[in-house]
């Protein structure tokens, strides 16, 4: 039976500079969009740095961004719930098999 490999214990689940560079590479051709995204990140940062932190607004902003990204992924053919399961790190091997069957690239 194939098991999902366990993540490297030394690897952080949080994005580092290389992760961000990969994620933002498509923005190289769209400097205005890159600037707009950076401004939106600052807005979320302000929510989190306010006293007291406005965590619900930060979460709402992030959830909206995640939902806007959904149709831009291969997951739009597999469904929103499967998309959220994958990006939240809850995908099992069965989920991955389903994604492969649906032609979702991940």
pLDDT grade for 79, boundaries at 50, 70 and 90: confident
Three-state SS for 50?
coil
In a domain, residue 45? The reply is yes
Residues 6 or more apart in contact with residue 54 via CB below 8 angstroms: 47, 48
In a domain, residue 42? The reply is yes
When divided into structural domains, the chain yields a total of 1
Domain that holds residue 73: 30-102
Q: What is the pLDDT of residues 15-42, one digit of tens each?
A: 899 999 999 999 999 999 999 999 999 9
In a domain, residue 18? The reply is no
Residues 6 or more apart in contact with residue 53 via CB below 8 angstroms: 47
Mean pLDDT of 60-87: 90
Q: Both tokens of residue 33?
A: 């969009």
Q: Are 66 and 35 in contact (CB under 8 A)?
A: no
In a domain, residue 14? The reply is no
In a domain, residue 5? The reply is no
């Amino acid at each position: 039976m194939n098991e999902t490999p366990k993540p490297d214990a030394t690897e952080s689940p949080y994005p580092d500079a290389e992760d961000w560079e990969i994620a933002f590479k498509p923005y190289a051709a769209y400097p205005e969009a890159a600037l707009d995204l950076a401004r939106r990140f600052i807005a979320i940062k302000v929510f989190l740095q306010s006293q007291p932190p406005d965590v619900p607004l930060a979460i709402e902003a992030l959830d909206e961004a995640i939902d806007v990204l959904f149709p831009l992924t291969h997951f739009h053919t597999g469904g929103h719930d499967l998309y959220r399961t994958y990006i939240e790190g809850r995908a099992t091997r069965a989920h991955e098999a389903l994604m492969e069957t649906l032609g979702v690239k991940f």
